[in-house]
Amino acid sequence: MAFDGRLLAGVSVLAAAVEGGSFVRAADALGLSASGVSRAIARLEARLGVRLFDRTTRSLKLTDAGARFYREVGPLLEGIDDAAGTASGSAAVVRGRLRINVDPFFARLMLAPRLAELSRRYPELELELLTRDGIGDLVAEVIDLALRFGTPPGVSPVARLLLKTRILTVASPAYLKRHGTPKAPADLASHACIQFRDPLTGRPFPWEFHRKRKIINVDISGPFVMTDVGTMLEACVSGAGIAQVMEFGAMDYLYRGRLVELFPDWPDETFPLYVFHPSRHHVPAKVRAFIDFCSEMIK
């Protein structure tokens, strides 16, 4: 297919419609009429020979073919914008809206306290944070990147490991005073343990203990199953039971003596944090900048 300016213009209209979520908002962003946006999309669909959107009176959603096309051309448009900024004298153009699907616990504990610093560093960057449990479809939902704990699914967007945090087994001093301190992982069978539900499987995470190459599994039970890490931490601090938590989220509680690590001689279980983005090609400057910022933040 030969390139011409009309194709690029149609792709630009497509991007505005996807980002705006409607032809009306795309028209406002581009200075066109809604009917002009509709005609531009129709011409692009005719040129490509596929339907790009499923349209109803209330919603606008990319078709599967439209999502595939947008996945390929979206980063190219960002690259054009970056190149224009570079040509005008700005070697690192970090601007525009960045939509991020982020783990709620990471957002609250790590990201929120650093947002002012991010804004000072990149004053032309607009950040939209969507705190969700699942990664979803980054392309269909027009998400630039996602931050998630846990092993990436078998079929996934581009994944980059940001950190591995240790898994600790902890309890409050009040709980240990009432119920005694377990001396070994096997002793947990007689204690109330707070379980955490895996959002991918819908089942509570199994409790494992790692020491070098040795791994043991322990069957535990208790009256509470949680789906929010912050709630689990606070319940554990209050004395509701023993919990397994990520070290980076529990350090303040441990430092202040509100939680006690039970089995420091089993130190080798870890849990990863990954950043996902739709494509490894033509990664926009704003995405690269945010990933680098997160890497700095967690060192």
* pLDDT of 279: 65
What is the distance between the terminal CA atoms of the chain, rounded to a whole angstrom? 47
Q: pLDDT by residue (tens digit) across 246-262?
A: 998 899 999 999 999 99
Query: Is the pLDDT reported for residue 8 higher than 90?
Result: no
Spatial contact of 282 and 75, defined as CB atoms under 8 Å apart: yes
User: 257 φ, ψ to 5°?
Assistant: 80, 15
Q: pLDDT by residue (tens digit) across 26-50?
A: 788 777 788 888 888 888 788 878 8
Taken in order of first residue, the domains within the chain and their CATH numbers are 5-88 (1.10.10.10), 98-155+281-298 (3.40.190.10), 164-272 (3.40.190.10)
* pLDDT of 183: 95
Q: pLDDT by residue (tens digit) across 151-192?
A: 776 545 678 888 889 999 999 999 999 999 999 999 999 999
Q: pLDDT by residue (tens digit) across 14-23?
A: 777 777 777 8
Which of 218 and 153 is assigned the larger pLDDT? 218
Task: Tell me the pTM.
Answer: 0.67
